[in-house]
Amino acid sequence: MSNAYQAIVIGAGPGGYPCGIRLGQLGVKTLVIEQEYWGGVCLNVGCIPSKALINAAKRYQEMVNGSQIGLVVDGTVSVNVTQLQAWKQSVVDKLTGGVRTLLKGNKVDMLVGTARIGKGNEVIVQTAEGEQRFTAPHVVLATGSAPIQIPGFDFGDAPVLDSTKALALGTIPKKLVVIGGGYIGLELGGVFAKLGTEVTVVEALDSALPGFDPDVVKVVWRRMQKDGVKGLFNHKALGWEAAKDGILVEVQGPDGKAKLEADYVLVTVGRRPNSRGLGLEDLGVAMDGPFVKVDRQMKTNVPGLYAIGDLAGQPMLAHKATHEGELVAEVIAGHNHQFDAKTVPAVVFTDPEVAVAGLTEPECKAKKLDIKVGKVPFAAIGKAIANHDTDGFVKVIIDQKTKLILGVTVVGAHASDIISEAALAIEMSAEALDVGLTIHPHPTLGEGIMEAAKAALGEAIHVLNR
């Protein structure tokens, strides 16, 4: 392995490995360094394994409740946790193996180790064989993020779970306390609730999914309550103690302190970028709190040093990291590219799912924009009725004067699969009529976006126009 490269990428997550692959495609001699997970947290212990368990839990619930649509299962439906975990891991292994194959196939060198940046863009890597040093005129930081730990809940303690440990549990807890009512807490809490766990969500603010459209929160929380999830809002978690049968989690709310019985406590209060230990302070890298400051080409204030993904700021989403990774590869190869996306769609894989592209209705109102909203419930969409899954709606927000689509919010089954049309519409500066006149296949859930666009214009066919 050579010690001199044209580009070095530190981190092989959803930002780093696409960056490495694209650099290889562009003929740039590249080294990708990964500390632990090829494919990053997302593929190994985050978005992919969590979606595998979310899918399994939903299927389990559908089997249990199948009699509602005439499907009767003779005998007891049960969960084999060992087999479930093995299947989940097989999904992860297939994808992470693909990452290494693609890097190798694009003639990118790979190294396992912990890296830091020295002067002159020298990269010092601590490997199992000892310290190694490399140089490159271009170094890309793609180190991702880690769960935030809060006082009183040390992730090193067995009953205290972060998302990684929760995804690897070998048993189904009888009782689980989830600290944090954001998307990670609700996704994982929803999995265990469907599998029979008594779940209590403790949230410091006054509702679940803080920052989301209240109309969306109502739909999601109503379904979670049907699954038996309890919520303690305006409550803070103080600590935990061992009990005879499990643990007691102490919380404090408007009415004082209380103790909740649990087998485990899952802490999901957010993530912090992995900016420490990289040597950024010694280099004088400009920071924005815990994030690295970058321009629209992902360049830092230090020549030849770039940052992408969670390290480079909000939103901390895998697909944003991938876009930035490919973008910075092309910048390094000499192309005049920059980050110019009008929207980064976001998805929450609760049941029902939530997906947002562009502005939400509350954001538009906060900006005092003159808008028109078209809203179509899934209960008016034939495919949703046939799927026996009608919770939720599609909401299209347009500019009252220009009719340009400003944002789309979807809450309902398969929201994650239909939001991309909305993202494309916003990127293309589409008007509501562009989407409304596009013939959508029937019966599909995607018809909801077409119908909501027409509703924003007062031309909906299958719902009353407001």
Tens-level pLDDT at each residue, the chain (466 residues) = 568 999 999 999 999 999 999 999 999 999 999 999 999 999 998 999 999 999 999 999 999 887 788 888 888 889 999 999 999 999 999 999 999 999 999 999 999 999 999 988 899 999 999 999 999 999 999 999 999 999 999 999 999 999 999 999 999 999 999 999 999 999 999 999 999 999 999 999 999 999 999 999 999 999 999 999 999 999 999 999 999 899 999 999 999 999 999 999 999 999 999 999 999 999 999 999 999 999 999 999 999 999 999 999 999 999 999 999 999 999 999 999 999 999 999 999 999 999 999 999 999 999 999 999 999 999 999 999 999 999 999 999 999 999 999 999 999 999 999 999 999 999 999 999 999 999 999 999 999 999 999 999 999 888 887 7
Q: What is the structure's pLDDT at 1?
A: 59
Q: What is the structure's pLDDT at 313?
A: 96
Together in a domain, 445 and 355: yes
Together in a domain, 85 and 215: no
**Residue 102 resides in a domain:** yes
**Residue 12 resides in a domain:** yes
**Residue 422 resides in a domain:** yes
Q: Specify whether 462 is catalytic.
A: no
Q: Which domain holds residue 230?
A: 160-269
d(C-alpha 235, C-alpha 261), whole Å: 16
Residue 118: CATH number of its domain: 3.50.50.60
The answer to whether the CB of 205 falls within 8 A of the CB of 182 is: no
**Residue 153 resides in a domain:** no
**Residue 340 resides in a domain:** no
Residues in the chain: 466
Together in a domain, 138 and 224: no
Q: Which of 323, 335, 440, 442 is catalytic?
A: 442
DSSP string, 316-348: --HHHHHHHHHHHHHHHTT-------S---EEE
d(C-alpha 299, C-alpha 328), whole Å: 8
Together in a domain, 130 and 277: yes
The answer to whether the CB of 248 falls within 8 A of the CB of 263 is: no
Together in a domain, 45 and 139: yes
Together in a domain, 264 and 367: no
Nearest to 9 by CA among 86, 151, 158, 117: 117
Q: What is the layout of strands, in order, in the sheet containing 160-161?
A: 160-161, 264-267, 175-179, 198-203, 230-233
d(C-alpha 381, C-alpha 285), whole Å: 52
Together in a domain, 65 and 16: yes
d(C-alpha 346, C-alpha 357), whole Å: 7
Residue 371: CATH number of its domain: 3.30.390.30
Please, which residues bridge with residue 13 across strands? none
d(C-alpha 167, C-alpha 37), whole Å: 15
The answer to whether the CB of 449 falls within 8 A of the CB of 378 is: no
**Cis preceding linkage at 210, omega within 30:** no
Together in a domain, 430 and 400: yes
Please, which residues bridge with residue 124 across strands? 116, 133
Together in a domain, 137 and 284: yes
Burial (Cβ within 10 Å: 0-12, 13-18, ≥19) of residue 23: buried
Q: How many CB atoms lie within 10 A of CB 428?
A: 11
Q: What is the structure's pLDDT at 67?
A: 76
Q: What is the structure's pLDDT at 38?
A: 93
The answer to whether the CB of 49 falls within 8 A of the CB of 88 is: yes
Together in a domain, 282 and 140: yes
pTM over 0.85: yes
Domain count, the chain: 3
